[in-house]
Copies of this chain bind each other. A is one copy, B any other.
Amino acid sequence: MDVYSFLEAVRKKAPVVHHLTNWVTIYDCAQVVKSFGASPVMAHAPEESAEMSGLASALVLNIGTLTADFIESMKIAARAANNKGIPVVLDVCGAGATPFRDMKSAELLDNARIGIIKGNSSEIARILGLDVRTRGVDAEHVGHDLRDIARDLAGKRDCTVVITGKEDIVADIKGTYIIRNGHEMMSHVVGTGCMAASVIGTFAGASPQDITAAAAAGLCCYEIAAELAVKTAKGPASFKENLFDRIFSLTRDEIASLQKVGR
């Protein structure tokens, strides 16, 4: 897989990536998009969320700090994105923690065409309908093969499914990518999961002709930057600073020598 070509597309096109996301990690979601060379915008008022999606190249939804009203704005934005034909990413953050999250996730999936569903293992398992719980926003062990779960949900919803974890799984009905980049330090930083969804949206927005490959390439780039970042990190905060810096300066050579994407 020519991962670098997807990064090049991001840097050349500088897609506008519209977000309706959570209030905890909203800054980092914006900064990760900007660090890759794209243009983030966050606008959630129902009066304008459709128009903002209309000038964007991708839409990222994240239910981390959802409210009922906020979900309604997401539906408006997602339908506008569908009308324009741009990719929609849904991060089902915290699905499986409360029935409210499960219900609202289902509403979003039923009300618009979501191109990419992204979550950790227990979140995605829950969206598939399995009887698992999420511990707040941290993954719980799921007693099933994760590749099967991803493929099953991809088939059921006719979309791309991303499960992040020690290895990332990116599946659609045609096939599955496995990304083995990244570093354990990412799990000690709040927002690395949310940022992954923003990265996926950014890459899908720049390469809408193959959003599954774009999602895999985006995760690979992000996690290669994480591997480079951890080398000089003293803890989670210096790691995060390095991560943004490394994303900003990521080169073709770094990607070529470190990428671990299989099928």
Does A242 contact B237, Cβ atoms closer than 8 Å?
A: yes
> Which of A18-26, A145-153, A175-183 interfaces with chain B?
A18-26
Give the Cβ gap from A51 to chain B, nearest Cβ, in Å: 4
Q: In A33-73, which residues have CB < 8 Å from any B CB?
A: 34-35, 39-45, 47-48, 51-52, 55-56, 64-68
Contact of A236 among B31, B47, B136 (CB under 8 A): B31
Which residue of chain B is the closest to A27 with respect to CB atoms?
B24
In the assembled complex, A84 has its CB within 8 A of some CB on chain B: no
> Which of A116-124, A206-214, A245-253 interfaces with chain B?
A245-253
Give the Cβ gap from A78 to chain B, nearest Cβ, in Å: 17
In the assembled complex, A188 has its CB within 8 A of some CB on chain B: yes
Does A98 contact B52, Cβ atoms closer than 8 Å?
A: yes
Give the Cβ gap from A31 to chain B, nearest Cβ, in Å: 5
Contact of A24 among B42, B51, B245 (CB under 8 A): B42
Q: In A72-113, which residues have CB < 8 Å from any B CB?
A: 94, 97-101
In the assembled complex, A231 has its CB within 8 A of some CB on chain B: no
In the complex, what residues of B have CB within 8 A of residue A189's CB?
31, 34
In the assembled complex, A158 has its CB within 8 A of some CB on chain B: no
Does B190 contact A45, Cβ atoms closer than 8 Å?
A: no
In angstroms, Cα B234 to Cα A248, docked, is 9
Does B235 contact A249, Cβ atoms closer than 8 Å?
A: yes
Does B135 contact A55, Cβ atoms closer than 8 Å?
A: yes
In the complex, what residues of B have CB within 8 A of residue A55's CB?
97, 133, 135-136
Beyond A31-B190, A240-B237, is A65–B39 a contact (Cβ under 8 Å)? Answer: no
Give the Cβ gap from A186 to chain B, nearest Cβ, in Å: 11
Beyond A23-B23, A189-B34, is A48–B236 a contact (Cβ under 8 Å)? Answer: no
Which residue of chain B is the closest to A16 with respect to CB atoms?
B136
Beyond A48-B100, A235-B35, is A40–B241 a contact (Cβ under 8 Å)? Answer: no
Known: A42-B64, A43-B65, A43-B97. 16 other contacts (CB 8 A): A24-B42, A27-B191, A39-B135, A41-B97, A41-B137, A45-B100, A47-B68, A48-B98, A48-B99, A51-B98, A51-B100, A55-B133, A234-B242, A236-B245, A236-B248, A238-B242
Question: Which A-B residue pairs are the 5 nearest by beta carbons?
Answer: A235-B245, A41-B136, A237-B244, A48-B100, A48-B98
